[in-house]
């Protein structure tokens, strides 16, 4: 290579780089011109973790420039509070949300029916079904009369509370169906009669908008369809659309575990006891680390659960009373009061009747607390019966051995004894021989009063 060649090659590289920089913006639109859609997967019960995943997915899809979100759903139902939060997010979404019940064999039961009817486009795959939208666990609220107890129960056997919840659900699902021009009468039957429909039946009845067996067919049937968003109508353009799957991340997987009311409840208790044992034994570290971690996870779960903070306060107060019983002897008053407060707080911890901590879990933890309380009370009773180990009271409970024959004295007989390896001056009301085993009955200065113990060496 000649010396003049190197500068020419460098100049050529610079010119080529400049051309590429200029052509880059022109080439990028050609690569990104295809519309983009994102697919979110709902596979299982609808809960706070599912709602968090879906709402975040819709928001991130909009931020990424997607023109469509598809919820591929297969659910048996879920929590009504969580379902309402999700529906509010769908209705306010800035981009169209298509709920597609798939694959074949999937279902949109109970809460899934509400979500399907609330979506901008309702689609199903062949061999899927929807329905059974009747609210469950009605009348399970504490203090509400049961069907047999309610004197104002209407004909049909439902209590007043059950009837209120049923009518609320009917009104809600009819509004969702009518918003998108779907069959509101059948939607009402799904609530009142737990009615079900297959995919083709639902299409014929006007409950859903289309049936598609795969993604390609779904996009083909969506193309050109006009949907009504919160900001106005929009015509879908899905020809050549690229679909990107957005699977649940670690946050959703963690939330799905710890947002179970029973798991969150146990994490809270482990956190409380862990921190308590760390404070009681500073420097042990292990209880403190475990306790702080579990307590933070519980608080993280509580932010997405419907928590009654009065119940939470009662739980902590009850635990404090139970532990206080071990340090402040109150003949069981603190412990019993703490146990009652703990049980009451556990029962009312979750506001939603279908989010309550299970009674067997509460009963098991309460039984452990009662066992700890019983152990503490019996230990204190044993301490009260135990002989003193220091002071004058301890001396009067000791045995002594006469070191010599006691001699008559002004107040009886006097001599010396060995007690706890020490030589003591002793007095007695009767004669004592060397080697006799004696019981100490009193202490006066450095002189003990003894009586025969009934056995001799």
Residue 211 structure tokens: 């049936």
- Residue ending a domain, choose from 217, 251, 285: 251
Asked, for residue 16, whether it belongs to a domain, the answer is: no
Asked, for residue 347, whether it belongs to a domain, the answer is: no
For 419-450, the pLDDT digits (tens) are: 888 898 999 988 888 888 898 888 887 888 88
Structure confidence at residue 312 (pLDDT) = 86
Structure confidence at residue 19 (pLDDT) = 56
Domain count, the chain: 2
Q: Is the pLDDT of residue 102 over 90?
A: yes
For 15-65, the pLDDT digits (tens) are: 666 655 555 444 444 344 678 999 999 998 888 888 989 999 999 999 999
Asked, for residue 174, whether it belongs to a domain, the answer is: yes
Asked, for residue 293, whether it belongs to a domain, the answer is: no
Q: What percent of the chain has pLDDT over 70?
A: 80
Provide the CATH number for the domain around residue 229: 3.90.226.10
Asked, for residue 398, whether it belongs to a domain, the answer is: yes
Asked, for residue 443, whether it belongs to a domain, the answer is: yes
Provide the CATH number for the domain around residue 402: 2.40.50.140
Short-list 414, 366, 419, CA closest to 397: 419
Average pLDDT, the chain: 82
Residue 330 structure tokens: 């109150």
**Mean pLDDT, residues 252-266 taken together:** 84
Q: pTM here? A: 0.64
Q: Which domain holds residue 418?
A: 391-456
Written as one string, the DSSP assignment of 203-264 is HHTTSSSEE-SSHHHHHHHHTT-EEEETTEEEE---TTPEEEEE---HHHHHHHHHTSHHHH
Short-list 69, 131, 58, 79, CA closest to 100: 69
Asked, for residue 452, whether it belongs to a domain, the answer is: yes
Radius of gyration for the chain, computed over Cα atoms and rounded to the nearest angstrom? 39
Least confident of 199-213, 312-326, 400-414: 312-326
Structure confidence at residue 73 (pLDDT) = 96
- Residue ending a domain, choose from 251, 278, 309: 251
Asked, for residue 346, whether it belongs to a domain, the answer is: no
- Residue ending a domain, choose from 208, 227, 251: 251
């Amino acid at each position: 290579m000649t010396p003049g060649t190197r500068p020419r090659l460098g100049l050529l590289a610079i010119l080529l780089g400049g051309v590429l920089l200029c052509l880059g913006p022109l080439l990028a639109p050609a690569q990104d011109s295809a519309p983009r859609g994102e697919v979110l997967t709902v596979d299982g019960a609808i809960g706070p973790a599912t709602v968090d995943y879906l709402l975040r997915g819709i928001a991130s899809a909009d931020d990424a420039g997607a023109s469509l979100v598809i919820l591929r759903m297969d659910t048996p139902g879920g929590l009504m509070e969580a379902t309402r939060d999700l529906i509010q997010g769908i209705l306010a979404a800035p981009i169209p949300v298509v709920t597609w019940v798939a694959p074949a064999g999937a279902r949109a039961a109970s809460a899934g029916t509400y979500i399907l009817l609330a979506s901008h486009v309702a689609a199903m795959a062949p061999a899927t079904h929807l329905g059974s939208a009747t609210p469950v666990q009605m009348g399970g609220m504490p203090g509400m009369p049961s069907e047999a107890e309610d004197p104002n129960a209407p004909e049909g056997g439902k209590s007043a509370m059950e009837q209120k919840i049923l009518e609320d659900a009917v009104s809600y699902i009819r509004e969702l169906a009518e918003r998108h021009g779907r069959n509101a009468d059948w939607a009402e039957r799904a609530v009142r009669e737990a009615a079900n429909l297959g995919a083709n039946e639902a299409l014929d009845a006007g409950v859903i908008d289309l049936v598609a067996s795969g993604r390609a067919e779904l996009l083909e049937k969506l193309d050109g369809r006009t949907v009504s968003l919160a900001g106005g109508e929009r015509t879908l353009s899905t020809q050549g659309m690229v679909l990107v799957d957005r699977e649940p991340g670690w946050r959703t997987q963690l939330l799905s575990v710890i947002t179970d009311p029973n798991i969150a409840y146990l994490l809270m208790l482990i956190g409380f006891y862990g921190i308590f044992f760390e404070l009681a034994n500073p420097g042990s570290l292990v209880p403190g680390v475990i306790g702080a971690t579990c307590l933070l996870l519980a608080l993280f779960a509580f932010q997405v659960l419907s928590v009654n903070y009065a119940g939470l306060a009662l739980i902590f107060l009850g635990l404090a009373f139970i532990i206080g019983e071990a340090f402040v002897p109150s003949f069981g008053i603190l412990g019993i009061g703490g146990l009652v407060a703990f049980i009451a707080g556990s029962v009312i911890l979750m506001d939603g009747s279908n989010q309550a901590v299970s009674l067997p879990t509460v009963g098991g933890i309460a039984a452990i607390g009662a066992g700890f309380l019983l152990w503490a009370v019996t230990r204190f009773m044993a301490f009260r019966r135990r002989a003193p180990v220091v002071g004058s009271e301890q001396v009067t409970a000791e045995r002594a051995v006469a070191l010599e024959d006691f001699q008559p004295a002004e107040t009886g007989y006097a001599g010396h004894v060995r007690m706890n390896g020490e030589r003591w001056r002793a007095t007695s009301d009767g004669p004592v021989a060397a080697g006799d085993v004696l019981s100490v009955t009193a202490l006066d200065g450095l002189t003990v009063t003894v009586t025969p113990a009934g056995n001799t060496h």
